[in-house]
Amino acid sequence: AQKVTQAQTEISVVEKEDVTLDCVYETRDTTYYLFWYKQPPSGELVFLIRRNSFDEQNEISGRYSWNFQKSTSSFNFTITASQVVDSAVYFCALSEDQAGTALIFGKGTTLSVSS
């Protein structure tokens, strides 16, 4: 059965520190998609990135980077030089080809960045 595990419930860092949020997934599909969403204190869910199972290239977008490793079923998210505005709950999600388009979310990691 498909499953997404975000083992880190809460992380606290000081501004300018780098932080990595872990995501481990389980799937039997060979075609699947992985996502990261951000939920700031205001409550909306903001899309950050989508990755398909055939593309293991790491991606960098500004201070954000993602490391996808099929060998360890992980899709980790790193924020470089964190800022207070990065404080939010971050969700990793999985969507499988065989299971339709529903997103299976992890429990989320709450990131608190203090100044």
Shortest spacing between CB 44 and another protein, in angstroms:
5
Shortest spacing between CB 83 and another protein, in angstroms:
22
Handedness of CA 104, 52, 24, 112 (dihedral sign): negative
Q: How many residues bind another protein (CB under 8 A)?
A: 26
Shortest spacing between CB 14 and another protein, in angstroms:
28
**DSSP codes, the chain:** --EEE---SEEEEETT--EEE--EEE-S-SSEEEEEEEE-TT---EEEEEEETT----EEETTEEEEEEGGGTEEEEEESS--GGG-EEEEEEEEESTTTT--EE---EEEEEE-
Q: Which of these ranges, 7-15, 25-33, 61-69, 77-85, lies near another protein under the rule CB under 8 A?
A: 25-33
Shortest spacing between CB 81 and another protein, in angstroms:
27
Looking at residues 68 to 107 of the shown chain, list those that interact with another protein (rule: CB under 8 A): 91, 95-97, 99-107
* Angle, alpha carbons 22-9-6 (nearest 5°): 35
Looking at residues 37 to 66 of the shown chain, list those that interact with another protein (rule: CB under 8 A): 37, 43-47, 50, 52
Site residues for another protein per CB under 8 A:
31-33, 35, 37, 43-47, 50, 52, 91, 95-97, 99-108
